Amino acid sequence: MKKITIHNYPVDNIDTDRIIPGKYTKTLNPQDLIDHCLEDLDPTFKSRVSKGDFLAGGNNFGCGSSREQAPLALKLSGIDTIIAKSFARIFYRNAINIGLQLLEIPEFDISESTVNGNFDEKTGKIRINDRDYLSKPLPSIMKSIIENGGLVAYLKKYKQYRIN
């Protein structure tokens, strides 16, 4: 199992405007997305996140507009995986398309703002303080897209859509 740090925001309906405010979505500078990611929800987010960290949210994570900059801002900030009780469908698709791993765990319930745990990539199981959480499995094509770094990288590698 891989050791992980989870930044927990146990709030429902964290929308794309809270992930990256609309005024920053026209930038071509990735650093702007990093600098302003989750700034309205947690002004300390940028300083606390390290490459490979996980982020957890509540129900309907990523709702709101269809801006693809929201999952991109999280990924550029160092977030490797997002855990949520449920995801807004457009956010879910945008995240998969850029190679950001999502774990849907309806019973995920921790109170700490930051917690360490372990993650089994093969099974999708997270262990925190002797409690196990199992994510809903992704279809094999989505796993392959994530493993290849996103949809564009997947299509460059395979030249066509194929199910493993």
Question: Residue 161: what pLDDT?
Answer: 64
Task: Look at residue 164 in the predicted model and tell me its pLDDT.
Answer: 56
SS3 of residue 37 by DSSP: coil
Distance CA 153, CA 158 (A): 9
Range 35-62 burial, b when 16+ CB lie within 10 A, else e? ebbbbeebeebeeebeeebbbbbbbbbb
Q: How many Å separate Cα 47 from the centre of its chain?
A: 18
Domains and CATH numbers, the chain: 2-136 (3.20.19.10)
Rounded-to-5 percentages of helix, strand, coil across the chain: 30, 25, 45
Which segments of the chain have a pLDDT < 70? 160-164
The sign one gets for the Cα dihedral 71, 73, 74, 80 is positive
Provide the CA 61 distance to its chain's centre, in angstroms. Answer: 9
Which secondary structure element, helix H or strand E, spans residue 2, and what is its range?
A: strand 2-8
pLDDT of residue 27: 84
Helices and strands, counts by H and E, the chain? 7, 7
Cα(26)–Cα(129) distance, rounded to whole angstroms? 41
Distances (CA, A) of 29 to 26, 70, 72, 115: 9, 14, 12, 31
Coil, strand or helix at 50 = coil
Question: What pLDDT does residue 163 have?
Answer: 58
| Amino acid at site 104 | E
Q: What is the pLDDT of residues 41-59, one digit of tens each?
A: 999 999 999 999 999 999 9
